[in-house]
Protein backbone atom coordinates (compact mmCIF):
# COMPACT_ATOMS: atom_id res chain seq x y z
CA UNK A 1 0.00 0.00 0.00
CA UNK A 2 1.23 3.59 -0.57
CA UNK A 3 3.45 5.01 2.11
CA UNK A 4 1.56 8.12 3.10
CA UNK A 5 3.52 8.64 6.29
CA UNK A 6 7.30 8.64 6.47
CA UNK A 7 9.96 9.44 8.98
CA UNK A 8 12.21 12.41 8.32
CA UNK A 9 15.07 10.01 7.64
CA UNK A 10 13.04 8.30 4.94
CA UNK A 11 12.12 11.66 3.43
CA UNK A 12 15.75 12.69 3.23
CA UNK A 13 16.60 9.34 1.73
CA UNK A 14 14.15 10.01 -1.06
CA UNK A 15 15.59 13.49 -1.61
CA UNK A 16 19.03 12.01 -2.02
CA UNK A 17 17.74 9.10 -4.09
CA UNK A 18 18.70 6.74 -1.29
CA UNK A 19 17.43 3.25 -0.71
CA UNK A 20 15.41 3.83 2.45
CA UNK A 21 11.67 4.09 1.80
CA UNK A 22 10.56 4.78 5.34
CA UNK A 23 8.13 2.75 7.38
CA UNK A 24 4.72 1.71 6.11
CA UNK A 25 1.65 3.21 7.75
CA UNK A 26 -1.89 1.89 7.48
CA UNK A 27 -4.04 3.59 4.87
CA UNK A 28 -6.05 6.28 6.67
CA UNK A 29 -8.96 6.45 4.26
CA UNK A 30 -10.89 9.64 3.70
CA UNK A 31 -9.21 11.52 6.55
CA UNK A 32 -5.83 11.16 4.87
CA UNK A 33 -6.75 13.71 2.25
CA UNK A 34 -4.37 12.14 -0.30
CA UNK A 35 -0.58 12.05 -0.39
CA UNK A 36 1.23 15.27 -1.19
CA UNK A 37 4.65 15.90 -2.64
CA UNK A 38 5.09 18.58 0.01
CA UNK A 39 3.67 16.93 3.13
CA UNK A 40 4.91 18.93 6.12
CA UNK A 41 6.86 16.91 8.69
CA UNK A 42 8.70 19.48 10.76
CA UNK A 43 8.70 19.29 14.54
CA UNK A 44 7.42 22.87 14.77
CA UNK A 45 4.73 22.75 12.14
CA UNK A 46 4.22 26.52 11.93
CA UNK A 47 7.86 27.33 11.12
CA UNK A 48 8.90 26.64 7.51
CA UNK A 49 11.07 23.66 6.64
CA UNK A 50 13.85 24.98 4.40
CA UNK A 51 16.06 22.82 2.24
CA UNK A 52 18.55 23.24 -0.58
CA UNK A 53 19.34 20.68 -3.28
CA UNK A 54 22.73 21.14 -4.97
CA UNK A 55 23.35 19.29 -8.25
CA UNK A 56 26.08 19.21 -10.86
CA UNK A 57 27.66 16.87 -13.37
CA UNK A 58 30.48 16.14 -15.74
CA UNK A 59 29.18 15.46 -19.26
CA UNK A 60 30.57 14.13 -22.53
CA UNK A 61 29.04 12.83 -25.77
CA UNK A 62 30.28 11.57 -29.12
CA UNK A 63 28.10 13.99 -31.11
CA UNK A 64 30.40 17.03 -30.96
CA UNK A 65 28.69 18.19 -27.79
CA UNK A 66 25.24 18.28 -29.42
CA UNK A 67 23.83 15.02 -28.06
CA UNK A 68 21.45 16.78 -25.68
CA UNK A 69 20.06 18.98 -28.47
CA UNK A 70 19.72 15.98 -30.80
CA UNK A 71 17.41 14.18 -28.39
CA UNK A 72 15.08 17.18 -28.46
CA UNK A 73 14.76 17.18 -32.26
CA UNK A 74 12.89 13.89 -32.75
CA UNK A 75 10.45 14.10 -35.66
CA UNK A 76 6.74 13.98 -35.00
CA UNK A 77 3.95 15.82 -33.27
CA UNK A 78 5.99 18.92 -32.39
CA UNK A 79 8.55 18.72 -35.22
CA UNK A 80 6.52 17.75 -38.28
CA UNK A 81 7.42 21.02 -40.02
CA UNK A 82 11.12 20.54 -40.67
CA UNK A 83 13.03 23.76 -40.14
CA UNK A 84 10.50 25.17 -37.69
CA UNK A 85 12.25 27.50 -35.29
CA UNK A 86 10.06 26.50 -32.34
CA UNK A 87 11.49 23.00 -32.03
CA UNK A 88 11.55 22.57 -28.23
CA UNK A 89 15.07 21.14 -28.24
CA UNK A 90 15.48 21.90 -24.52
CA UNK A 91 19.24 21.56 -24.65
CA UNK A 92 21.22 22.20 -21.53
CA UNK A 93 24.18 19.83 -21.12
CA UNK A 94 27.46 21.38 -22.22
CA UNK A 95 30.54 19.14 -22.58
CA UNK A 96 32.64 19.36 -19.46
CA UNK A 97 31.55 20.47 -15.99
CA UNK A 98 28.02 21.76 -15.36
CA UNK A 99 26.28 23.25 -12.35
CA UNK A 100 22.58 22.49 -12.63
CA UNK A 101 19.88 24.76 -11.18
CA UNK A 102 19.98 24.72 -7.37
CA UNK A 103 16.59 23.90 -5.89
CA UNK A 104 15.38 25.84 -2.84
CA UNK A 105 12.33 24.53 -0.95
CA UNK A 106 10.08 26.08 1.69
CA UNK A 107 7.16 24.19 3.24
CA UNK A 108 5.03 24.84 6.31
CA UNK A 109 1.63 24.59 7.93
CA UNK A 110 0.12 28.04 7.64
CA UNK A 111 -2.66 27.36 10.15
CA UNK A 112 -5.04 24.45 10.91
CA UNK A 113 -6.61 24.91 7.47
CA UNK A 114 -3.75 25.31 4.97
CA UNK A 115 -0.27 24.06 4.12
CA UNK A 116 2.00 26.03 1.79
CA UNK A 117 4.92 25.02 -0.43
CA UNK A 118 7.37 27.05 -2.53
CA UNK A 119 10.14 25.82 -4.81
CA UNK A 120 12.55 28.21 -6.49
CA UNK A 121 15.54 27.36 -8.69
CA UNK A 122 18.74 29.39 -8.73
CA UNK A 123 20.50 29.20 -12.10
CA UNK A 124 24.26 29.23 -12.52
CA UNK A 125 24.06 32.80 -13.90
CA UNK A 126 22.44 34.00 -10.68
CA UNK A 127 18.91 34.21 -12.06
CA UNK A 128 16.05 32.89 -9.95
CA UNK A 129 12.94 31.16 -11.33
CA UNK A 130 9.83 30.24 -9.39
CA UNK A 131 8.83 26.68 -10.29
CA UNK A 132 6.14 25.87 -7.72
CA UNK A 133 4.21 27.99 -5.22
CA UNK A 134 0.95 26.57 -3.96
CA UNK A 135 -1.30 25.89 -0.98
CA UNK A 136 -3.17 22.73 -0.01
CA UNK A 137 -6.15 22.48 2.29
CA UNK A 138 -6.02 20.50 5.53
CA UNK A 139 -9.57 20.37 6.88
CA UNK A 140 -12.00 19.53 4.07
CA UNK A 141 -14.40 16.64 4.76
CA UNK A 142 -14.88 13.29 2.98
CA UNK A 143 -11.29 12.94 1.78
CA UNK A 144 -11.37 16.09 -0.37
CA UNK A 145 -8.36 18.32 -0.86
CA UNK A 146 -7.84 21.51 -2.87
CA UNK A 147 -4.48 22.68 -4.21
CA UNK A 148 -4.08 26.11 -5.74
CA UNK A 149 -1.22 28.09 -7.25
CA UNK A 150 1.56 26.98 -9.58
CA UNK A 151 2.39 23.28 -9.33
CA UNK A 152 3.35 20.09 -11.11
CA UNK A 153 0.22 18.37 -12.35
CA UNK A 154 -0.94 15.18 -10.64
CA UNK A 155 -1.20 13.26 -13.91
CA UNK A 156 0.93 10.16 -14.39
CA UNK A 157 3.52 8.91 -11.92
CA UNK A 158 6.67 10.71 -13.02
CA UNK A 159 5.15 14.15 -13.59
CA UNK A 160 5.01 15.24 -9.92
CA UNK A 161 8.66 14.33 -9.30
CA UNK A 162 11.19 17.11 -9.01
CA UNK A 163 14.44 16.75 -10.92
CA UNK A 164 16.39 15.56 -7.88
CA UNK A 165 13.89 12.67 -7.52
CA UNK A 166 14.37 11.40 -11.08
CA UNK A 167 16.01 7.98 -11.24
CA UNK A 168 17.68 9.01 -14.50
CA UNK A 169 19.38 12.28 -15.31
CA UNK A 170 17.39 13.19 -18.45
CA UNK A 171 13.66 13.61 -18.90
CA UNK A 172 12.15 10.56 -20.60
CA UNK A 173 11.30 10.90 -24.31
CA UNK A 174 7.46 10.76 -24.17
CA UNK A 175 7.30 13.38 -21.43
CA UNK A 176 9.79 15.66 -23.17
CA UNK A 177 8.03 15.57 -26.53
CA UNK A 178 4.37 15.23 -25.56
CA UNK A 179 4.25 17.24 -22.30
CA UNK A 180 7.39 19.35 -22.10
CA UNK A 181 10.89 19.34 -20.61
CA UNK A 182 9.52 19.75 -17.07
CA UNK A 183 6.42 17.65 -17.69
CA UNK A 184 3.14 19.46 -17.11
CA UNK A 185 3.55 22.37 -14.68
CA UNK A 186 1.13 25.29 -14.70
CA UNK A 187 -0.92 27.74 -12.64
CA UNK A 188 -4.38 26.63 -11.62
CA UNK A 189 -6.42 24.66 -9.13
CA UNK A 190 -6.61 20.94 -8.35
CA UNK A 191 -9.35 19.00 -6.55
CA UNK A 192 -8.60 15.46 -5.33
CA UNK A 193 -10.76 12.91 -3.56
CA UNK A 194 -9.33 10.05 -1.51
CA UNK A 195 -12.33 7.95 -0.42
CA UNK A 196 -12.38 5.53 2.48
CA UNK A 197 -11.98 2.27 0.56
CA UNK A 198 -10.37 -1.08 1.45
CA UNK A 199 -7.28 0.01 -0.49
CA UNK A 200 -5.82 3.31 -1.63
CA UNK A 201 -7.70 5.11 -4.41
CA UNK A 202 -7.37 8.72 -5.46
CA UNK A 203 -9.24 10.76 -8.06
CA UNK A 204 -8.36 14.23 -9.27
CA UNK A 205 -9.28 16.99 -11.70
CA UNK A 206 -7.38 20.16 -12.56
CA UNK A 207 -8.17 23.45 -14.29
CA UNK A 208 -4.95 25.15 -15.44
CA UNK A 209 -4.24 28.45 -17.15
CA UNK A 210 -2.63 26.83 -20.20
CA UNK A 211 0.79 28.48 -20.27
CA UNK A 212 2.88 25.66 -21.75
CA UNK A 213 5.54 25.11 -24.40
CA UNK A 214 4.03 21.88 -25.78
CA UNK A 215 0.56 20.82 -24.66
CA UNK A 216 -1.50 24.00 -24.38
CA UNK A 217 1.13 25.95 -26.30
CA UNK A 218 0.16 29.50 -27.21
CA UNK A 219 2.87 31.44 -29.06
CA UNK A 220 1.07 34.75 -28.69
CA UNK A 221 1.91 38.36 -29.40
CA UNK A 222 5.63 38.30 -28.60
CA UNK A 223 6.35 35.47 -31.07
CA UNK A 224 3.94 36.68 -33.75
CA UNK A 225 4.95 40.34 -33.94
CA UNK A 226 8.35 39.59 -35.50
CA UNK A 227 6.95 37.20 -38.15
CA UNK A 228 3.49 38.32 -39.34
CA UNK A 229 1.72 41.62 -40.16
CA UNK A 230 0.33 43.78 -37.36
CA UNK A 231 -3.29 43.06 -38.24
CA UNK A 232 -2.58 39.32 -37.86
CA UNK A 233 -0.92 39.94 -34.48
CA UNK A 234 -4.04 41.83 -33.41
CA UNK A 235 -6.26 38.88 -34.39
CA UNK A 236 -4.20 36.06 -32.90
CA UNK A 237 -1.91 37.63 -30.31
CA UNK A 238 -4.21 37.38 -27.29
CA UNK A 239 -5.28 33.96 -25.98
CA UNK A 240 -8.78 33.13 -24.88
CA UNK A 241 -9.43 33.72 -21.22
CA UNK A 242 -8.19 30.89 -19.02
CA UNK A 243 -8.34 28.28 -17.77
CA UNK A 244 -7.56 26.62 -21.13
CA UNK A 245 -5.99 23.35 -19.96
CA UNK A 246 -7.85 20.60 -18.10
CA UNK A 247 -6.76 17.26 -16.66
CA UNK A 248 -8.28 14.26 -14.91
CA UNK A 249 -6.55 11.30 -13.26
CA UNK A 250 -7.25 8.25 -11.11
CA UNK A 251 -4.86 6.05 -9.12
CA UNK A 252 -5.36 2.78 -7.26
CA UNK A 253 -3.05 0.63 -5.13
CA UNK A 254 -4.22 -2.81 -3.95
CA UNK A 255 -2.99 -4.09 -0.59
CA UNK A 256 -0.15 -6.53 -1.30
CA UNK A 257 1.29 -6.67 2.20
CA UNK A 258 4.20 -4.93 3.87
CA UNK A 259 7.01 -5.61 1.39
CA UNK A 260 5.23 -5.22 -1.95
CA UNK A 261 3.61 -2.13 -3.43
CA UNK A 262 1.74 -1.69 -6.71
CA UNK A 263 0.06 1.44 -8.04
CA UNK A 264 -1.73 1.86 -11.37
CA UNK A 265 -3.22 4.98 -12.86
CA UNK A 266 -4.94 6.51 -15.88
CA UNK A 267 -5.01 10.17 -16.89
CA UNK A 268 -6.09 12.60 -19.57
CA UNK A 269 -5.19 16.15 -20.64
CA UNK A 270 -7.19 18.53 -22.84
CA UNK A 271 -6.00 21.90 -24.14
CA UNK A 272 -8.85 23.94 -25.60
CA UNK A 273 -6.76 26.70 -27.19
CA UNK A 274 -3.59 25.46 -28.90
CA UNK A 275 -1.75 27.99 -31.08
CA UNK A 276 1.50 27.46 -33.01
CA UNK A 277 3.50 29.74 -35.27
CA UNK A 278 5.47 27.90 -37.97
CA UNK A 279 7.94 29.41 -40.42
CA UNK A 280 8.30 26.64 -43.03
CA UNK A 281 7.48 26.58 -45.88
CA UNK A 282 6.19 30.09 -45.08
CA UNK A 283 4.93 31.89 -41.98
CA UNK A 284 1.63 30.34 -40.91
CA UNK A 285 -0.43 30.01 -37.75
CA UNK A 286 -2.16 26.82 -36.61
CA UNK A 287 -4.92 26.88 -34.01
CA UNK A 288 -7.06 24.17 -32.44
CA UNK A 289 -7.02 21.63 -29.66
CA UNK A 290 -4.58 19.16 -28.10
CA UNK A 291 -5.57 16.10 -26.09
CA UNK A 292 -3.53 13.38 -24.47
CA UNK A 293 -4.32 10.13 -22.65
CA UNK A 294 -2.01 7.84 -20.70
CA UNK A 295 -1.53 5.15 -18.12
CA UNK A 296 1.14 4.70 -15.44
CA UNK A 297 2.29 1.64 -13.45
CA UNK A 298 4.79 1.25 -10.63
CA UNK A 299 5.81 -1.76 -8.54
CA UNK A 300 8.22 -1.74 -5.59
CA UNK A 301 9.67 -4.45 -3.38
CA UNK A 302 11.15 -3.50 -0.01
CA UNK A 303 13.68 -6.20 0.82
CA UNK A 304 14.37 -7.17 4.45
CA UNK A 305 17.92 -5.81 4.34
CA UNK A 306 19.51 -2.58 5.46
CA UNK A 307 20.41 0.39 3.24
CA UNK A 308 18.41 -0.74 0.22
CA UNK A 309 20.09 -4.06 -0.49
CA UNK A 310 17.69 -6.23 -2.48
CA UNK A 311 15.15 -3.45 -3.11
CA UNK A 312 13.45 -3.43 -6.53
CA UNK A 313 11.44 -0.73 -8.28
CA UNK A 314 9.81 -1.03 -11.73
CA UNK A 315 8.09 1.89 -13.42
CA UNK A 316 6.34 2.38 -16.80
CA UNK A 317 4.08 4.90 -18.53
CA UNK A 318 2.40 5.11 -21.96
CA UNK A 319 1.19 8.38 -23.54
CA UNK A 320 -0.93 8.94 -26.68
CA UNK A 321 -1.42 12.48 -27.99
CA UNK A 322 -3.40 14.14 -30.80
CA UNK A 323 -3.22 17.73 -32.04
CA UNK A 324 -6.31 18.69 -34.08
CA UNK A 325 -5.45 22.02 -35.70
CA UNK A 326 -6.37 24.14 -38.69
CA UNK A 327 -4.56 26.85 -40.63
CA UNK A 328 -5.73 30.21 -39.27
CA UNK A 329 -3.28 32.32 -41.29
CA UNK A 330 -0.85 31.55 -44.12
CA UNK A 331 1.55 34.19 -45.40
CA UNK A 332 2.08 32.60 -48.83
CA UNK A 333 -1.20 30.77 -49.55
CA UNK A 334 -4.43 32.38 -48.39
CA UNK A 335 -6.37 29.44 -49.85
CA UNK A 336 -4.82 27.17 -47.21
CA UNK A 337 -6.72 28.95 -44.42
CA UNK A 338 -9.16 26.47 -42.91
CA UNK A 339 -7.14 23.40 -43.93
CA UNK A 340 -7.02 20.78 -41.19
CA UNK A 341 -3.80 19.38 -39.72
CA UNK A 342 -3.99 16.40 -37.39
CA UNK A 343 -0.82 15.20 -35.68
CA UNK A 344 -0.76 11.91 -33.78
CA UNK A 345 2.10 10.50 -31.71
CA UNK A 346 2.61 8.15 -28.79
CA UNK A 347 5.47 7.04 -26.57
CA UNK A 348 6.42 5.01 -23.54
CA UNK A 349 9.20 4.41 -21.07
CA UNK A 350 10.06 1.35 -19.00
CA UNK A 351 12.65 1.55 -16.24
CA UNK A 352 13.83 -0.37 -13.21
CA UNK A 353 16.42 -0.30 -10.48
CA UNK A 354 17.87 -2.91 -8.14
CA UNK A 355 19.83 -2.56 -4.91
CA UNK A 356 22.61 -5.08 -5.41
CA UNK A 357 24.48 -4.07 -2.25
CA UNK A 358 24.05 -1.77 0.73
CA UNK A 359 23.98 1.85 -0.54
CA UNK A 360 24.47 0.74 -4.16
CA UNK A 361 21.94 0.27 -6.94
CA UNK A 362 21.92 -0.26 -10.67
CA UNK A 363 19.24 1.01 -13.05
CA UNK A 364 18.16 0.57 -16.67
CA UNK A 365 15.64 2.40 -18.85
CA UNK A 366 14.25 2.07 -22.37
CA UNK A 367 12.16 4.94 -23.73
CA UNK A 368 10.65 5.53 -27.15
CA UNK A 369 8.52 8.15 -28.87
CA UNK A 370 6.75 7.72 -32.21
CA UNK A 371 5.47 4.16 -32.50
CA UNK A 372 2.43 5.95 -33.91
CA UNK A 373 3.78 9.07 -35.56
CA UNK A 374 1.87 10.71 -38.39
CA UNK A 375 0.38 13.88 -39.81
CA UNK A 376 -2.85 14.08 -41.81
CA UNK A 377 -3.98 17.02 -43.97
CA UNK A 378 -7.76 17.00 -44.07
CA UNK A 379 -8.74 18.80 -47.30
CA UNK A 380 -6.16 17.16 -49.57
CA UNK A 381 -6.05 13.72 -48.01
CA UNK A 382 -2.27 13.93 -47.86
CA UNK A 383 -0.53 12.18 -45.00
CA UNK A 384 2.99 11.79 -43.68
CA UNK A 385 4.47 9.16 -41.43
CA UNK A 386 7.58 9.70 -39.34
CA UNK A 387 10.01 7.22 -37.83
CA UNK A 388 10.25 6.41 -34.15
CA UNK A 389 13.06 7.63 -31.89
CA UNK A 390 14.38 5.61 -28.96
CA UNK A 391 17.01 5.56 -26.25
CA UNK A 392 18.54 3.06 -23.87
CA UNK A 393 20.21 4.09 -20.61
CA UNK A 394 21.98 2.44 -17.67
CA UNK A 395 23.29 3.93 -14.45
CA UNK A 396 25.12 3.08 -11.26
CA UNK A 397 24.29 4.98 -8.07
CA UNK A 398 26.13 5.20 -4.76
CA UNK A 399 24.34 6.76 -1.80
CA UNK A 400 26.90 7.05 1.00
CA UNK A 401 24.39 8.80 3.31
CA UNK A 402 20.80 9.98 3.18
CA UNK A 403 22.05 13.41 2.15
CA UNK A 404 24.26 12.67 -0.86
CA UNK A 405 24.21 10.71 -4.09
CA UNK A 406 26.83 10.03 -6.75
CA UNK A 407 25.61 8.64 -10.07
CA UNK A 408 27.32 7.50 -13.27
CA UNK A 409 25.13 7.09 -16.36
CA UNK A 410 25.42 6.09 -20.01
CA UNK A 411 22.71 6.74 -22.60
CA UNK A 412 22.55 5.87 -26.28
CA UNK A 413 19.91 7.68 -28.32
CA UNK A 414 18.77 6.77 -31.85
CA UNK A 415 16.83 9.82 -33.04
CA UNK A 416 14.82 10.28 -36.26
CA UNK A 417 15.17 13.93 -37.27
CA UNK A 418 14.12 15.99 -40.29
CA UNK A 419 17.61 15.42 -41.70
CA UNK A 420 17.64 11.65 -41.18
CA UNK A 421 18.46 9.20 -38.41
CA UNK A 422 21.27 10.03 -36.01
CA UNK A 423 22.77 8.53 -32.86
CA UNK A 424 24.59 9.83 -29.81
CA UNK A 425 26.28 8.22 -26.84
CA UNK A 426 26.09 10.36 -23.70
CA UNK A 427 28.10 9.96 -20.48
CA UNK A 428 27.37 11.61 -17.14
CA UNK A 429 28.91 11.72 -13.68
CA UNK A 430 26.44 13.46 -11.36
CA UNK A 431 26.27 14.55 -7.74
CA UNK A 432 23.16 15.50 -5.73
CA UNK A 433 23.56 16.94 -2.21
CA UNK A 434 20.72 17.89 0.14
CA UNK A 435 20.83 20.35 3.03
CA UNK A 436 18.14 21.19 5.55
CA UNK A 437 14.72 19.72 6.25
CA UNK A 438 12.46 18.68 3.39
CA UNK A 439 8.96 17.24 3.58
CA UNK A 440 8.31 13.62 2.68
CA UNK A 441 7.59 12.71 -0.91
CA UNK A 442 4.65 10.52 -1.81
CA UNK A 443 4.99 6.97 -3.13
pLDDT score of 380 = 58
Is pLDDT at 52 greater than 90 in this prediction? yes
pLDDT score of 302 = 95
- pLDDT, tens digit, 9 for 90 and up, residues 86-145: 333 334 688 999 999 999 999 999 999 999 999 999 988 888 999 999 999 998 999 999
> Is residue 275 included in any domain, yes or no?
yes
pLDDT score of 7 = 35
- pLDDT, tens digit, 9 for 90 and up, residues 403-429: 999 999 999 999 998 888 999 999 999
Q: Is the pTM of this model over 0.75?
A: yes
Please list the alpha-helical segments (H only) found in 212-301. 220-224, 230-236
pLDDT band at 382; cut points 50, 70, 90: low
pLDDT score of 21 = 37
378 against 61, higher pLDDT: 61
How many other CB atoms sit within 10 Å of the CB of residue 347?
31
Percent of the chain scored above 90 by pLDDT? 60
**For 14, phi and psi rounded to 5 degrees?**
-70, -35
Mean pLDDT over the full length of the chain: 85
> Is residue 11 included in any domain, yes or no?
no
- pLDDT, tens digit, 9 for 90 and up, residues 180-192: 888 999 999 999 9
pLDDT score of 440 = 64
41 against 170, higher pLDDT: 170
Please list the alpha-helical segments (H only) found in 29-172. 67-71
> Is residue 71 included in any domain, yes or no?
yes
Q: What is the distance between the alpha carbons of residues 262 and 253, in angstroms, rounded to a whole number?
A: 6
pLDDT band at 25; cut points 50, 70, 90: very low
> Is residue 101 included in any domain, yes or no?
no
Contact 24, 257 (CB under 8 A): no
Is pLDDT at 441 greater than 70 in this prediction? no
Residues contacting residue 45 through CB under 8 Å, at least 6 positions apart: 108, 109
pLDDT band at 79; cut points 50, 70, 90: low
> Is residue 91 included in any domain, yes or no?
no
pLDDT band at 19; cut points 50, 70, 90: very low
Look up the CATH number of the domain holding residue 264.
2.40.160
Is pLDDT at 364 greater than 90 in this prediction? yes
Least confident interval from 28-42, 341-355, 420-434: 28-42
Q: What is the distance between the alpha carbons of residues 197 and 12, in angstroms, rounded to a whole number?
A: 30
How far from 25 is each of 2, 115, 181, 258, 301, CA to CA, in Å? 8, 21, 34, 9, 16
Is pLDDT at 43 greater than 60 in this prediction? no
pLDDT score of 282 = 84
Q: What is the distance between the alpha carbons of residues 300 and 217, in angstroms, rounded to a whole number?
A: 35
Is pLDDT at 153 greater than 70 in this prediction? yes
Contact 27, 2 (CB under 8 A): yes
Q: What is the distance between the alpha carbons of residues 361 and 349, in angstroms, rounded to a whole number?
A: 19
pLDDT score of 436 = 87
> Is residue 35 included in any domain, yes or no?
no
pLDDT score of 209 = 94
> Is residue 10 included in any domain, yes or no?
no
Is pLDDT at 352 greater than 90 in this prediction? yes
Q: What is the distance between the alpha carbons of residues 440 and 274, in angstroms, rounded to a whole number?
A: 36
pLDDT score of 73 = 87
pLDDT band at 45; cut points 50, 70, 90: low
- pLDDT, tens digit, 9 for 90 and up, residues 268-317: 999 999 999 888 888 889 999 999 999 999 999 999 999 999 999 999 99
pLDDT score of 358 = 96
Q: Which domain holds residue 254?
A: 60-84+143-431
How far from 138 is each of 31, 39, 113, CA to CA, in Å? 10, 11, 5
pLDDT score of 220 = 84
Q: In the chain, how many domains are there?
A: 1
> Is residue 369 included in any domain, yes or no?
yes
- CA neighbours within 13 Å on the CB side: how many for 205? 5
Q: What is the distance between the alpha carbons of residues 341 and 286, in angstroms, rounded to a whole number?
A: 8
Task: Tell me which range, 272-286, 372-386, 390-404, is most confidently predicted by mean pLDDT.
Answer: 390-404
Amino acid sequence: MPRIAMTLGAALALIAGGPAWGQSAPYLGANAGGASSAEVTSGNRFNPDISLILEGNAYYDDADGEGDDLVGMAEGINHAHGGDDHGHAHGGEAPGLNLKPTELFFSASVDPYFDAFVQAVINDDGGVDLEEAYFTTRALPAGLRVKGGKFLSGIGYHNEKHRHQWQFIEQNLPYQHLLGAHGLMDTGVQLTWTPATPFYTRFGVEALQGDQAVVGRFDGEEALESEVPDNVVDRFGEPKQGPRLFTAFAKAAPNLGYSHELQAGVFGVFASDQQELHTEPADHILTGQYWLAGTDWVYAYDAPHQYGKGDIKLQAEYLYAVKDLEVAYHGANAAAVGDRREFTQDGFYLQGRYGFAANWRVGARYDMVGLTNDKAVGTTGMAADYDASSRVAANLTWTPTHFSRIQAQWSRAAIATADGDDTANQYYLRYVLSMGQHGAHDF
